[in-house]
């Protein structure tokens, strides 16, 4: 259920056209131009999929995950950008006795580079790393603020410019996750008992399709995204989720940004329409963006 946070994307700026920049888009800042962003995110669900069974849970009621993320992007060159994000996350349930968790989650770093240009078709690649910032509890799901795994991700981006400032974009990425140490001597992975405190967290992949409009200070787009683990087990009946679960989600949403000058705002909303071992969440992100030059 923590993976609903993966549907919360970041918003940054670009020089000249001053557009939003994300790890999955085609926009770059010029050399020595940096940008900061402060983003508030809220993700909540009442119903979730226990394996493929859709249900609610009176011991949880409505689970809410709030996040406050600080981010900065920097133009190393016109075709290579670096992005860093630090999120503070808080979870809480509306019913039952499960105690919410809060703290700094995982610091993430991305490097994005332009690979080729051919007429209206553009290719890009993004490499990312993340690691936990604090010793938060990982096995108290769905109240945990994160998985606790170090990750490496590789993303390919294809972008095509259409007439009248429209565009389409398709991206796909693969996420490699490290093992996680938990405070127990054994755990179940499917029907197998593993006598170890080292948990194998399944790798994952995602894909996104975007259709949008972008011109000067305005950016509007709609998108569909699919996220799935590459293996893993299912939540057992009336049991808590665990790090080994195979979580799958398909979400649809919209993004908007208004950036008349150096200061701008952005908003994003998405909804999980289908899933497995995950919450049917509604996700909202609001951001304040500021562009500046690094001497």
Residue 147, pLDDT score = 95
Average pLDDT of the chain?
89
Residue 25 has pLDDT above 80, yes or no: no
Residue 10 has pLDDT above 90, yes or no: no
> For residue range 78-132, what is the model confidence (pLDDT) as tens digits?
999 999 999 999 999 999 999 999 999 999 999 999 999 999 999 999 999 999 9
Average pLDDT of the residues in 136-164? 95
Residue 52 has pLDDT above 90, yes or no: yes
Average pLDDT of the residues in 252-266? 92
Other CB atoms within 10 A of residue 184 CB: 10
Between 19 and 23, the more confident residue is: 23
Residue 204 has pLDDT above 70, yes or no: yes
Query: Which band of pLDDT confidence, cut at 50, 70 and 90, is reported for residue 6?
Result: very low
Residue 16, pLDDT score = 31
Query: Which band of pLDDT confidence, cut at 50, 70 and 90, is reported for residue 21?
Result: low
3-class secondary structure, 20 = coil
Rounded Cα distance, 240 and 142, in Å: 7
> For residue range 205-250, what is the model confidence (pLDDT) as tens digits?
999 999 999 988 889 999 999 999 999 999 999 899 999 999 999 9
Largest CA distance in the chain: 60
3-class secondary structure, 2 = helix
Rounded Cα distance, 116 and 124, in Å: 7
Residue 20, pLDDT score = 43
pTM, to two decimals: 0.88
């Amino acid at each position: 259920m923590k993976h609903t946070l993966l549907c919360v994307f970041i918003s940054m700026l670009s020089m000249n056209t001053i557009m939003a920049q994300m790890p999955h888009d085609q926009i770059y800042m010029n050399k020595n131009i940096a940008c900061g962003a402060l983003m508030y995110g809220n993700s909540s669900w009442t119903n979730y999929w226990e394996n493929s069974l859709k249900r609610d849970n009176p011991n949880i009621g409505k689970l809410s995950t709030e996040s406050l993320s600080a981010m900065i992007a920097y133009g190393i060159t016109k075709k290579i950008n670096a992005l860093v994000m630090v999120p503070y996350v808080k979870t809480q349930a509306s019913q039952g006795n499960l105690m919410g968790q809060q703290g700094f989650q995982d610091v993430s770093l991305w490097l994005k580079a332009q690979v080729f240009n051919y007429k209206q078709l553009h290719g890009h690649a993004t490499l990312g790393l993340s690691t936990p910032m604090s010793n938060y509890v990982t096995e108290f799901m769905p109240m945990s603020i994160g998985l606790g795994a170090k990750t490496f991700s590789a993303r390919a981006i294809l972008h095509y410019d259409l007439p009248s400032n429209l565009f389409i974009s398709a991206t796909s990425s693969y996420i490699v996750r490290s093992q996680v140490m938990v405070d127990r001597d054994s755990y179940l992975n499917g029907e197998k008992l593993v006598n170890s405190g080292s948990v194998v967290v399944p790798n994952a992949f995602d894909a996104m399709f975007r259709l949008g409009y972008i011109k000067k200070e305005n950016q509007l787009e709609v998108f569909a995204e699919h996220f799935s683990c590459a293996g893993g087990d299912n939540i057992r009946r009336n049991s808590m989720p665990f790090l080994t679960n195979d979580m799958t989600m398909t979400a649809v949403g919209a993004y908007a940004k208004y950036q008349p000058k150096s200061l701008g705002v952005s908003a994003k909303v998405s909804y999980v329409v289908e899933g497995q071992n995950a919450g049917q969440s509604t996700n909202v992100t609001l951001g304040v963006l500021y562009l500046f030059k690094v001497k």
